[in-house]
Every structure is written in structure tokens, then in C-alpha cells.
Structure 1
Amino acid sequence: MDEDESRRANGPDWDRYADEYQSTHGAFLGDMGFVWGPEGLTESDAGLLGSVEGRDVLEVGSGAGQCSRWINARGGRAVGLDLSHRQLQHGLRIDAETGVEVPSVRGTATHLPFAAASFDIVFCSFGALQFVHDIAAAIDETARVLRPGGRFVFSITHPTRWMFPDDPSEGGLVAAQSYWDRLPYVEVDDDTDEVTYVEHHRTLGDWVGLLSAAGFALTDLVEPEWPEGHDRVWGGWSSVRGRLTPGTAILGADLLAGGARARR
């Protein structure tokens, strides 16, 4: 599955899923909330972006812009980017309901439609990165649009989850495949043989290497613990699994001055 095939599958898939996603998870996310993953760790508690007041911020894989709206309500200047047209339509709805707007564009992480050195912070909260085949290009693009010393933070499904079935019950605690198997997970429509969903896997070591090669210095690796009394089930995330094994990884990195591969 190359980049074009991944994009052709995942854009329409998110358009189909957007209404259900916002209906099911919207209250948990909050119209102006910033949650890093199903465990419920908020940016207010994590503080991984640093101060956002007066900062230019890009959210990659912004969905309906909940996280960016949280930033703009605190004096930041956040814009969103997402591949799904329907998710961006939900963003317009929430803009109107809250009175806090998030300027957003439809686009892809591998070709960010912004000038070089436009942003102080780029982040992705369970957004685009797992669906991108050409991940090195996406990280290079992040480095290109960041100013020297800029901040890049993103959350993903914890890479060790790749070994286990996507099952919130005890069945999801039994390793079923190799952690080092980097073949993508692909879903295909039974009637048309059309690829409808693609997700790509990288190990923790892969992510560290990708960041380093693009001129970033890794500063944070956060693995949120499942909170006591948190009984929400979100796909394969649940208290059954979350009490024993991490479900989310959050990586934070700073762009070294003059160190970005994309600037050379």
C-alpha cells in the first residue's frame, strides 16, 4: 500500500465515519477540549506544547478542530488540516456553536499547504500519522513549516499494541503477531475488493530515528496510565487492557536550529 492508495482509502473512510465518530466521542473530546488519547490525558495536565498564547500553531489531522479550538480560546493562533471533508464540516458546525473559529484546510500531512517557517508548534492528537505511508515526507514537511526551535508533539496508538488483537476484552491481552512486522493493516470491501482502510505501523525505534533524521531532538515520551474509575471503551482501549499495558504513546520533540533535513 503506497501513499496514494492509503490516501484514497482513508479519506473516504473518515468521511463515512465522521458523523458516528463525532456523535460517539464528541462529548468526551469536548467542543473546546484537548485530549491526547482514549485514556483522557488532557493538554492542561500534560503541558507538552508549552505556552500557546501568541503562538502560531498547526494541528495535523485536526478532525473537527476540538484541540485547536482549545488553543485559540487561550490566545493561540491555531489552524487545522485534515484529509476528511466531512470532519471539517463538523468543525464549521462547532465553530458556529461555540463562537471560537478554527481556520482549516483540507490537505495531507505529506504536502502541507503552508510556507516554510510559518509555525511555532505543530501537533497531531491521534490524527493523521498512523494513516500515512510516506511518513518521512510528513515529518520533513513538519520540519519545513516549523520555525527553528519549534515544537512537534504527536500521539499515536502505542506501537506495542501492534502485537495484540484490537479487542478491549481479555482476548486483547494475548500477543498474536510480531512487533517488528511492519506490513500495514488493510481492510477490503468484500463486494468490490476496494481497499477501504489502511493503517501503518512503526516501532518506537522507528519513530525516534525518523525524528532524528529530520533534525528533531526528542524530549518527551509519555505513556499515559489508565485512570482509576475510567470505564470508557473506545475501540480496543478499555480498563481491562489499560490497567496492564499502554495504549497510547505521546512523543514530543524540538526542531534544532539549522538541523532540519528539509532545509538542506
Structure 2
Amino acid sequence: MVNLWSPDSEQQHGFYDGGMTGTDSPSEVGYFFVSDRDASRAARTWWDTHADEYLHEHGDFLTDHGFVWGPEGLTESQAQLLGPPQSLAGQRILEIGAGGAQCSAWLVAQGAQVCATDVAVHMLASGQPVPSRVCADALALPFHDESFDQVFTSFGALPFVFDARGVHREVHRVLRPGGHWTFSVTHPARWMFPDDPTEHGMTITRSYFAREPYVERDAQGQVAYVEFHRTLADHINDVIAAGFHLDTVVEPQWQAHNNQVWGGWGPVRGALLPGTLIIRAKRPGRPASPPDASTTDARS
């Protein structure tokens, strides 16, 4: 059953693509701190407003590859971070920040029982016809404890939310003991370089340790787009603090067949500079008996 409801809280998804575009060009762009409320409101509003544009521009790349972990083009069928495809059948898997739910659709085709979540209801409604889609905040997932065998996100939620550690804690809650949490984000090294995918984007212009988020304001002075920076140590320590054991870290190389230019990602710079970081972590403990089918239903 498709469940497309909108919560009061906010969260979002996507590969970073330069923020506002076209007639929505920002009146102010910079690096400065904003409130959690402003950041989350901007995330939901931006992705709902630009869902059709985003899917029109990038939908073919995402859909044709089935399940990609980042603009480099590394697919889940190659990486098998969730396990061999034949092992996915019957697993209860949650996607956070699903966007158009392309990754979830690929998992459904492998026989997995998947729920795709995103804060932008228009993004979910315009994407792939995954049977279970829930508009939900990654910081307040509407599921019972220990409902899922695995949880993942491909560039969803974490780059755009103020409280990343809170997302990790919430994933830990809904994940069964022994289950894995796998996520991809912008590689922290990218923060030092301009958003230029060519050889001209290879000069460091910003400190790796500067944690002020990238912010765009609209003509009314409202925060319209926010993206947060965390160092490699920040990501790892957030995962550990949430109760996970670090399992695997991947820095995917640019795929030789991939000519896609995506914001600051592209084959020229991608051959030299990492653009994506993938982390897989495990919730300690032994799994109990499989959860009832009702435990993955959205709570009212």
C-alpha cells in the first residue's frame, strides 16, 4: 500500500546539484550558520519545489543504473554493500531520503520488502512506483523499534540535516540487532575545492575544518537551501556515538564508462579527487526472531 502523507517535521534527499536554479537564482550565497528550523524547512521546500526539474535532468542516469551510490556511477550490484543480490529477497529494508526511489525500485526487483521514505512528498509521488512510500522525517521515523534488517541512504538526509547524529540514533532504533546501516555522502575532501568539475576546480579555496554550512537565501531573505559539511572524523564519530560498530568505508573511483557531469562531479576531476564517501556500520547484537509484517507499518 502506498502511503504518501506529509508530516509536520522536515528532511530531504539528493546529490548536491548547486542549489537554486533558473529564475530562482539566490540573492545571497555564502557559508554561515543557520538554525535547525530554517535548515529543515528549506530542505523540504526546495526538494518539493524542484522535484520535477531534478528528476527530468537526472532521472535517466539514476533509473538506468538501478541503484547508484553516487555520481561516480558505482552501483549496488557492483559494490554489494547490502549483500549479494540473491540474498536480498525477503529482507525488510528501509531507504531514507529516497527521492524518486530508484534504489528502492531496484531492491524490490531483487525480492526485498522495501519502504522508501523522503520528506518531499512530490519527489516520492513523481518517482518510481515502489509499493511502500512514506513521507517522513529522518529524525522521527514512523516505525516501531527493530523493524528492519537493513537501512540505507544514497546521498539522502545527512548532507542536509543539522543533527546528523540524531539521524544515526533514529536508524539505530528501527534497525534490528545485527543489521547494517549504509549511507553515502559528499566526500569531506570535496569541501575544500570549488564546485567546478573540470581541471580548474583543483585548487583549494576553503579550509577542510571550516564547518559553516553552504547557504542560499532567496529574494525575501529566507533560507532557501542549506548543505552541511562534516569531516571524515565527524562522520565516523557520529556513527560510533549512535551505538554502531564501523564495518566498511568506501571511496568509489570514477567509473570508466560514466561521462555524466553532475554539479561539481565529473570524469575530469573525478579521476583525481574523491567525490563520494560510503560508510557501512553494524548495530551490535544478535537478531531476534523476524519482526511481524505489521511492525514496518507507519505509525499513526
- Check whether TM > 0.5: yes
Q: Tell me which amino acid in the other structure corresponds to 1:199.
A: E
Q: Tell me which amino acid in the other structure corresponds to 1:27.
A: D
Q: Residues 232 and 134 (structure 1 numbering): CA distance in 2 closer, same or farther, change over 3 Å?
A: same
Q: Offset of 1:44 from its aligned partner?
A: 0.3
Runs (4 or more) in structure 1 with deviation over 6 Å come to none
2:95, 2:257 → 1: CA distance? 30
Corresponding position: 1:21 with 2:54:
yes
**1:164-195: CA deviations, max 9, x gaps?**
11111223211111111111111011x20111
Alignment of 1:132-143 (within 5 A): 132-143=161-172
1:28, 1:138 → 2: CA distance? 27
Match of 1:253 in 2: 281
2:162, 2:77 → 1: CA distance? 31
Which of 203, 217, 225 matches 1:174?
Answer: 203
Q: Residues 32 and 224 (structure 1 numbering): CA distance in 2 closer, same or farther, change over 3 Å?
A: closer
1:249, 1:23 → 2: CA distance? 25
1:229, 1:35 → 2: CA distance? 14
Preserved CA contact (<8 Å) 2:69 2:76: yes
Match of 2:6 in 1: none
Match of 1:30 in 2: 63
Preserved CA contact (<8 Å) 2:65 2:75: no
Sequence identity percentage? 50
Preserved CA contact (<8 Å) 1:31 1:66: no
Q: Residues 32 and 239 (structure 1 numbering): CA distance in 2 closer, same or farther, change over 3 Å?
A: closer
TM-score normalised by structure 2 residue count: 0.81
Match of 1:106 in 2: 135
Which of 213, 222, 227 matches 1:194?
Answer: 222
Question: Structure 1: which 5+ runs fail to align?
Answer: 96-100, 259-264
Match of 1:238 in 2: 266
Alignment of 1:2-13 (within 5 A): 2-13=35-46
2:55, 2:47 → 1: CA distance? 11
Q: Tell me which amino acid in the other structure corresponds to 2:122.
A: R
Which of 205, 208, 232 matches 2:233?
Answer: 205
Match of 1:98 in 2: none
Secondary structure at 2:43 match in 1: helix
1:90, 1:155 → 2: CA distance? 23
Q: Tell me which amino acid in the other structure corresponds to 1:230.
A: N
Q: Offset of 1:65 from its aligned partner?
A: 0.9
1:198, 1:41 → 2: CA distance? 26
Secondary structure at 1:30 match in 2: helix
Preserved CA contact (<8 Å) 2:160 2:227: yes
1:35, 1:85 → 2: CA distance? 22
Q: Tell me which amino acid in the other structure corresponds to 1:188.
A: R
Q: Offset of 1:31 from its aligned partner?
A: 6.6
1:102, 1:214 → 2: CA distance? 30
Which of 159, 180, 190 matches 2:188?
Answer: 159
Q: Offset of 1:239 from its aligned partner?
A: 1.2
2:214, 2:71 → 1: CA distance? 21
Match of 1:125 in 2: 154
**1:70-125: CA deviations, max 9, x gaps?**
1111111110110112101113xx31xxxxx3311111111111110000100001
Corresponding position: 1:53 with 2:79:
no
Match of 2:76 in 1: 43
Preserved CA contact (<8 Å) 1:31 1:69: no
Q: Offset of 1:7 from its aligned partner?
A: 1.0
Q: Tell me which amino acid in the other structure corresponds to 1:84.
A: A
Q: Which has the higher contact order (CA 8 A, sep 6+)?
A: 2
1:241, 1:180 → 2: CA distance? 22
1:227, 1:31 → 2: CA distance? 15
How many residues are treated as equivalent by the alignment? 250
Secondary structure at 2:66 match in 1: coil
Corresponding position: 1:69 with 2:105:
yes
TM-score normalised by structure 1 residue count: 0.91
Q: Output the aligned Cα RMSD.
A: 1.4
Match of 1:87 in 2: 123
1:233, 1:48 → 2: CA distance? 25
2:190, 2:74 → 1: CA distance? 18
